[in-house]
Amino acid sequence: MARIVMKFGGTSMAGIERIRNVAARVKREWDAGNQVAVVVSAMAGETDRLVGFCKEASPLYDLREYDVVVASGEQVTSGLLAITLQALGVPARSWLGWQLPIHTSSAHASARIGSIDTDALNASLADGQVAVIPGFQGLAEDNRVTTLGRGGSDTSAVAVAAAMKADRCDIYTDVDGVYTTDPRIVPRARKLSKVTYEEMLELASVGAKVLQTRSVGLAMKEGVRVRVLSSFEDAQDEGGHRGTLIVGEEEIDDVERQLITGIAHDKNEAKVTLTNVPDRPGAVAHIFGPLADAGINVDMIVQNVAHATGSTDVTFTVPRAELARALDVLGKAKGPIGYDTLIHDTKIAKISVVGVGMRSHAGVAATMFDTLAERRINILAITTSEIKVSVLIHEDETELAVRVLHTAYGLDAPEGEAA
């Protein structure tokens, strides 16, 4: 017997036919004698519909009421899955966020899970009942409904798994696992059977949108073993695994360990350059302080060597969706910063080479730069971390860069075994 959390996204819950498919998967785990909690998203499109209502009601909607409105989508699918499971002879009941409860911060629309009461849940599981829990929702201290922000159901699932000390948290999606890179770009991309939390964090945050970043961070912190797998296929890889297991480094033995796990790309960033910023202490604080105050995420930062004139150019990236706000903030701060001109470019892409093996191996960055140089791909900026090297390039060269790097690091699947 194992304790398992299964999470199903909006595509898997879109309509009763698909919910029946989900129920059949849940029944299989329950039939095997496991204790099962299921975390569900709203039907695909439903959250958008509800958000649309809020925006139509008032562009400046109250986030507390927004949470009341949008949390209803997962409430509906929870009840429907419980009914569907019962129809298959599986005892099941729904537990809404306020019923368990799932305690969260009071940051409405982007709340963080604090703790989850498990007494009632554990009793129900011990009784052989499947618990169906709406993802994305919780309860603030003042007894009001909260939601975790878009994609929050992954985080709910991991938090429930941590609270009930589950053996595994299976995230069912519309892809069958995590790949070495985007198979739409590189047909010979390979599915990974295991990946570490750290690698997954880098792969997720740089564009491999399989799991919500926050959920991976939480899984790492709580040591929850997460598996990503398809809710529409049952294909296993040659090792007999379904999907990709996301675990701690200690669970990956040396034979399995790769130098490089994957190549990610991200076209959602924009580049901003401030020219001739005075090269004096505190100048950079004048730039990034106001951006931080405005809640704008800054990613890659490059500061050139000071010009002979005592000034320097500062380049960084921000999410494209936040570019207009960033330019506004920087325009207003022109005086305190003292720059000459403000230049931006949205036709860029970030390419990242990720792998925990990189730590113990020099030359990863050199291979990257050589490979790109051979194809005359110009590098606009570089950042590195312990397990990642990222470069900024022109957007048009994204696919070429990903393809040549995938080959250069030996990630291509053998001929005929492509994804």
Binding residues for its own copies, per CB under 8 A?
16, 19-20, 50, 53-54, 56-58, 60-62, 64-69, 71-73, 75-76, 78-80, 82-84, 86-87, 93-94, 96, 98-99, 143-145
Supply the minimum distance, in Å, between the C-beta of residue 76 and its own copies.
5
Kindly tell me which of 62 and 251 has the beta carbon lying closer to its own copies.
Answer: 62
C-beta of 77: minimal distance to its own copies in Å? 9
* Cβ at position 73, least distance to its own copies in Å: 8
SS3 181: coil
- Give the shortest CB-324-to-its own copies separation in angstroms: 24
Amino acid (1-letter code) at residue 254: D
CB atoms within 10 A of CB 279: 17
Closer Cβ to its own copies, 78 or 193, answer by number: 78
Closest approach of its own copies to the CB of residue 59, in Å: 9
Nearest to 310 by CA among 290, 291, 286, 338: 338
Which strands form 145-147's sheet, in the order they lie side by side? 113-116, 102-104, 137-139, 145-147
Shortest separation between residue 78's beta carbon and its own copies, angstroms: 7
Q: Which is nearer to its own copies, 82 or 272 (CB)?
A: 82
- Of 145 and 296, which CB lies nearer to its own copies in the complex structure? 145
> From the CB of 80, what's the least distance to its own copies, in Å?
5
Exposure string (b/e) for 347-369, b if CB count within 10 Å is 16 or more?
ebbbbbbbbbbbeeeeebeebbe
Closest C-alpha to 203, from 175, 224, 223 = 175
Residue 179 DSSP label: B
Answer whether 97's CB lies under 8 Å from 139's CB. Answer: yes
Nearer to its own copies, 79 or 290 (CB): 79
| Nearest CA-CA partner of 196 in 172, 170, 171, 226 | 226
Q: Angle 243-248-253 (CA atoms, 0-180°, nearest 5)?
A: 80
Name 65's Cβ contacts closer than 8 Å, sequence gap at least 6. 54
How near is the Cβ of 178 to its own copies at its closest, in Å? 32
Contact 217, 226 (CB under 8 A): no
Which of 346, 161, 367 has the alpha carbon at shortest distance from 259?
Answer: 367
Query: How far apart are CB 121 and its own copies at their closest, in Å?
Result: 13
Category of 207 on φ-ψ map: left (φ > 0), alpha (ψ -120 to 50) or beta:
left
Q: Which is nearer to its own copies, 75 or 122 (CB)?
A: 75
Output 76 or 327, the one with its CB closest to its own copies. 76
Residue with tokens 């009071």: 106
CA distance 68 to 295: 24
Q: Which CB sits closer to its own copies, 68 or 259?
A: 68
Nearer to its own copies, 87 or 321 (CB): 87
